[in-house]
Amino acid sequence: MRKIKLGTSDLEVPVVAVGCMRINQLQPKQAEQFVQTALELGANFFDHADIYGGGACEEIFAKAVHMNDDVREKIILQSKCGIREGRYDFSKEHILNAVDGSLKRLRTDYLDVLLLHRPDALVEPEEVAEAFDILQSTGKVKHFGVSNHKPMQIELLKKYVKQPILANQLQLSIMHANMIANGMHVNMLTDAAIDRDGSVLDYCRLHEITIQPWSPFLYGFFEGVFVGNEKFPTLNAKMDEIAARYGVTNTTIAIAWLLRHPAKMQPVIGTTNLQRLKDSLKAAEVNLTREEWYEIFLAAGYTLP
């Protein structure tokens, strides 16, 4: 599995991360097979969140991977915190308690990466800084990042937080790529020119923050999968054409399209289907040409000014 550095750190991670949001939908033997298959293919970076399955996903993963000291040294664990029922919470108390809960459920003493999950309107960055300092000094968290944050929200945190922000997990796919498309419609009076995220793509590249695209197969906000969807015949025909050229599936091409971007992204795949897992990981071996990347972009309905 091809690897990249996470942000400005020396932590080497696979270019594709395995999301565990739906692992609670599997039976114990299926979960074990899923995790072991990922490891066999070199995908040892697992993404969690304290809210996934109400915490059950972290517990199920720990059992599936047969967590012990030897196993722990071979995997990279990332989890997220900050979403609570009816609100977001970046208070010092909640961050510390959330991490302790994740560590207990994952049967480990530390997280490799902790992300703040969706911006808290009531965030007090001084409290976040205190929490991060405690987590780092106690060895409970090695590295830190955010999820679904725009540039100025990250800048606010950075004023107080001394640890580098290494990653920003953002929704991004071929059919949800405004952060890419709006950059090509500068000074145009079109909907495509609307910057909805504060130029977060360029910001992350400038500050060497790894973008982790989530829901790389979905369109809209959890509206469905675009791969193989009859709603998008032109896109799927183009993806099938290019997939045949490389001897892979269109699932592979959907991930390869993200990996082709020079931002050095790390897509987080959320499938629990073994074949789709394998197809997704194959994307690390496919390097689309500039022409193929743009052909897919245009087939998805985007335009060039």
Beta-carbon contacts of residue 227 (< 8 Å; ≥ 6 apart): 217, 236, 239, 250, 251, 254
Spatial distance between the Cα atoms of 69 and 179, rounded to a whole number of angstroms: 40
Beta bridge partners of 77: 46
When computed from its CA atoms, the radius of gyration of the chain, rounded to whole angstroms, is: 19
From the list 52, 203, 219, 302, the catalytic residue is 52
Spatial distance between the Cα atoms of 190 and 136, rounded to a whole number of angstroms: 46
Spatial distance between the Cα atoms of 275 and 207, rounded to a whole number of angstroms: 35
Q: What is the SS3 assignment for 208? A: coil
Spatial distance between the Cα atoms of 68 and 2, rounded to a whole number of angstroms: 26
Spatial distance between the Cα atoms of 114 and 198, rounded to a whole number of angstroms: 23
Enumerate long-range contacts of 179-182, CB under 8 Å, 24 or more apart. 180/261, 180/297, 181/297, 181/302
Q: What is the SS3 assignment for 80? A: strand
Tell me, yes or no, if 52 is annotated catalytic.
yes
- Tell me the residue type at 122: L
Catalytic residues: 52
